Amino acid sequence: MMFRSKIKWVALGGLVLSFLSLLVHMFLANTSVELVQYSVMTQFIEDLNIDVVGKQSVRSKKLWKKVKSLEVLQPYANPRSIYPVPVEQNNGFIYAKVFGEFEKIRSSICDLVAISRLLNATLVIPEIQESTSSKGISSEFKSFSYLYNEEQFITSLKNDVIIVKSLPTKLKEARKRKEFPTFKPKKSASPDYYIKQLLPELKKVKGYWISGYGWRLSTGIQVAIFLFPILSSKFVEYQRLRCRVAFHALHFRPEILSLANLIVQRLRASGQPYLAYHPGLVRDSLAYQGCAELFQDVHTELIQYRRAQMIKQKILHDNVSVDSFSRKMNGSCPLMPEEVGILLRAMGYPPTTRIYLAGSETFGGQRIMIPLRAMYTNLVDRSNLCHKHELTKLIGPEPPIPSPPSNSLPTTKPPKPEWNQAGPRPRPLPPPPPLNRPIYQHEKQGWYGWVTNQASEPEPSGTDLRDKAHRLLFTALDYIVSIEFDVFFPGFNNDFSNLVMGHRLYDMASSRTFRPDRKFLANLFNTTRDRNWSVMVRKHLNDSLAEEGLERQGGDSKRVSFLSHPVPECCCTIGRKPGNDTCPKWMADSLAKVREQEGESEEGEDEVDEEEMDLDDGKKVSDEVSLEEDVEMDPND
């Protein structure tokens, strides 16, 4: 009996110890998760190019320094001819709604200000269609103030255009009665078109509503930029006005600026530089260019569906099925993340380089970023650098979205005959729901909810519309952070990348902004016999930083958007003979002082660097030999 009782006590003690051990493990698991989240946001793997005392090596400094040949270009968008101040007694009011993605909204607002100045009209602050109260956003913000600072916008442009927050009462009532005249401009027009077509009518009624100002591709309504990107020389002051709007007047609201600056501080917490990368993998762009075969599974089908939609709506005049490989070789398709990783490694950026992933949409999701993340472990985005409550505070309190009615009754319809007739697809079709149970909500969502059961994409739900408004905020964050980057690398010259490159070119032309030629690189990636591959990559990318890349990018992108290449209209040059493009004397003097200070600070560093180069000469030679051996390996090995 005594032996059995001892066994019982031992068993009971074992159960108690097991229970206590389980509690300890659960506690450690919870605390470790919190530590990991904190470390991802505030800490990075140390740069291998940083030595013990915290200084970068000579080779690393060259990867981040400014482009000296472009330092002569300085931002200067002030009027340079007779420019009268607007008066209140003008030709009337212009009111417009803008829609589209972040880039199109920003460009459309700049065009509206230029048109208002051209017609001597008062501009009512435009309404951003994606951020109206009907989209379920916070009641704390109006449409325009959801993104931008209204007071700053009005004050900055007081010498260019008279801007008011709302229409006069008389015109408001006329608009409610649908008596407010509407003007629908052409896809793209010159200033003379507005002077001849809109100005006479505006003088008669003293108010006009410009409808559909922007770009909406997802619903099939296409309205492009309404002013030509490139204007004649007599309208050069309107080009400078565009620059003043985009780079000086359109300030984001304080909450966006504060969070964006906090992201930059966290990236530069240890004083190290960082690089920005915008993949440019947007479904609309991929469909328009015919790059569906770069992806796999259902993503190819989704791109092809959007391409067929564009052809049906006469946005695109081409075949649905095209050879994506030939488009890739022609430079029409973006560089994939793994290709960008290879290019950065060839340039010499170490695996611990801090890379910020910009852009609110990356078609293909995180799966397509796996190769780049394997090459560069410090690849982060706003979700890694912001707490959830910080993003929630940015969005503001929002009302709940009413849930759609759910079908809880069992369906009695037999499976559709398409299930038996469906041909091969990139992914197998999901099984049809049984007849004896209801169709659950999760079966109606996602690609399998409409690709397999209906021929058209469903209308966006309330959650989709709200998410689209949130993407405007997230894109604004990425835009601000992108301008502050030490290095910017675009995977594709789409609207966001072009806007960032144009802003960086205006603010500081000498900042390191890569402008790669995708056609050249596509052919280079298919080269198997050239033993100097890395040398060719480095030469091409280094050339893209300077005048060669600037001329190529300007010729391609300026025809689409003036803000992507605001040179030479919105800049001046230091060191040339006096003229219209010469910078004022005060600007040249301030730049000379900055150069003098930078030269003094670099002298001491150069002396230390020369000593390090002499001490480590043997080590560097061995490293270069090993690098060349890696480059010249047999591709079949």
Q: For residues 105, 110, 116 and 117, what is the CA-based torsion angle, rounded to 10 degrees?
A: 180
Per-residue pLDDT of 512-560, as tens digits, reads 999 999 999 999 998 877 678 899 999 999 999 999 988 888 877 888 8
DSSP bridge partners of 56: 50
With CA atoms as reference, report the closest residue to 583 among 572, 567, 594. Answer: 572
Q: Can you tell me the distance from the alpha carbon of 184 to that of 187, in angstroms, rounded to the nearest whole number?
A: 9
Q: Where are the alpha helices (DSSP H) in 216-297?
A: 236-244, 254-267, 283-289
Q: Which pLDDT does position 636 carry in this prediction?
A: 38
Under 8 Å between Cβ of 496 and 557? no
With CA atoms as reference, report the closest residue to 38 among 388, 373, 377, 355. Answer: 388
Q: 20-34, 101-115, 322-336, 385-399 — which is least confidently predicted?
A: 20-34
Per-residue pLDDT of 568-609, as tens digits, reads 899 998 876 666 678 877 676 776 776 666 565 555 555 444
Please give the average per-residue pLDDT across 421-444, as a whole number.
55
Indicate if the pLDDT at residue 46 is higher than 70. Answer: no
Q: Which pLDDT does position 398 carry in this prediction?
A: 86
Percentage of the chain exceeding pLDDT 70 = 72
Q: How many CB atoms lie within 10 A of CB 592?
A: 11
Residue whose entry in the numeric block shows the structure tokens 């400094």: 61
Indicate if the pLDDT at residue 248 is higher than 70. Answer: yes
Please give the average per-residue pLDDT across 68-94, as a whole number.
88
Query: What are the backbone dihedrals phi and psi of residue 128, each rounded to the nearest 5 degrees, phi first?
Result: -85, 115
Q: Can you tell me the distance from the alpha carbon of 207 to that of 173, in angstroms, rounded to the nearest whole number?
A: 12
Per-residue pLDDT of 607-622, as tens digits, reads 444 444 444 444 443 4
- The answer to whether the Cα torsion of 446, 147, 176, 226 is positive or negative is negative
Instruction: Identify which has the larger pLDDT, 587 or 377.
Output: 377
Q: Which pLDDT does position 437 carry in this prediction?
A: 55
Identify the CATH class of 263-281+334-395+483-571: alpha beta
pTM: 0.79
Residue 492 tokens read as 């594709």
Q: 5-19, 31-45, 136-150, 462-476 — which is least confidently predicted?
A: 31-45
Q: 3-state DSSP call for residue 227?
A: strand
Q: Which pLDDT does position 371 carry in this prediction?
A: 94
Buried b (16+ CB within 10 A) or exposed e, 430-452: eeeeeeeeebeeeeeeebebebb
Q: Which pLDDT does position 194 carry in this prediction?
A: 86
Indicate if the pLDDT at residue 480 is higher than 50. Answer: yes
Mean pLDDT rounded to a whole number for the chain: 78
Per-residue pLDDT of 211-239, as tens digits, reads 544 433 322 223 334 688 888 888 999 99
Residue 426 tokens read as 């990139």
CA atoms within 13 A on the CB side of 48: 9
Q: Which parts of 205-249 are beta strand (E)? A: 207-214
Q: How many CB atoms lie within 10 A of CB 535?
A: 13
Residue whose entry in the numeric block shows the structure tokens 């995977």: 491
Q: 3-state DSSP call for residue 164?
A: strand
DSSP bridge partners of 490: 278
Q: Can you tell me the distance from the alpha carbon of 434 to that of 414, in angstroms, rounded to the nearest whole number?
A: 9
Per-residue pLDDT of 394-424, as tens digits, reads 998 888 877 665 544 445 555 566 656 666 5
Q: Which pLDDT does position 627 carry in this prediction?
A: 36
Q: Can you tell me the distance from the alpha carbon of 23 to that of 30, in angstroms, rounded to the nearest whole number?
A: 11
Q: CA 215 → CA 300, 470, 534, distances in Å?
A: 24, 18, 40
DSSP bridge partners of 98: 128, 213
Q: Can you tell me the distance from the alpha carbon of 382 to that of 384, in angstroms, rounded to the nearest whole number?
A: 5
Parallel/antiparallel/unpaired status of strands 73-75 and 571-573: antiparallel
Please give the average per-residue pLDDT across 240-255, as a whole number.
96
Query: What are the backbone dihedrals phi and psi of residue 355, each rounded to the nearest 5 degrees, phi first?
Result: -120, 125
Q: Which pLDDT does position 595 carry in this prediction?
A: 64
| Among 24-33, 222-231, 308-317, 494-503, the range of highest mean pLDDT | 494-503
Q: Which pLDDT does position 425 carry in this prediction?
A: 55
Instruction: Calculate the CA 593 to chain-centre distance.
Output: 35
Cβ-based neighbours of 69, under 8 Å, separated by 6 or more: 546, 547
Amino acid at 634: D
Q: Can you tell me the distance from the alpha carbon of 249 to that of 252, in angstroms, rounded to the nearest whole number?
A: 9
Per-residue pLDDT of 2-36, as tens digits, reads 656 777 787 788 888 888 888 877 776 655 444 33
Q: Can you tell me the distance from the alpha carbon of 572 to that of 600, in angstroms, rounded to the nearest whole number?
A: 26
Indicate if the pLDDT at residue 54 is higher than 60. Answer: no
Per-residue pLDDT of 174-214, as tens digits, reads 777 776 677 776 667 888 888 888 888 888 776 555 554 44
Amino acid at 421: Q
Q: Report domain extents, the chain.
A: 93-252, 263-281+334-395+483-571, 585-631
By the 10 Å C-beta count (0-12 exposed, 13-18 middle, 19+ buried), 194 is classed as buried
| Among 91-95, 186-190, 229-233, 279-283, the range of highest mean pLDDT | 279-283
Q: Which parts of 151-294 are beta strand (E)? A: 163-164, 182-183, 207-214, 275-278
Q: Which pLDDT does position 212 carry in this prediction?
A: 45
Query: What are the backbone dihedrals phi and psi of residue 399, each rounded to the nearest 5 degrees, phi first?
Result: -70, 150
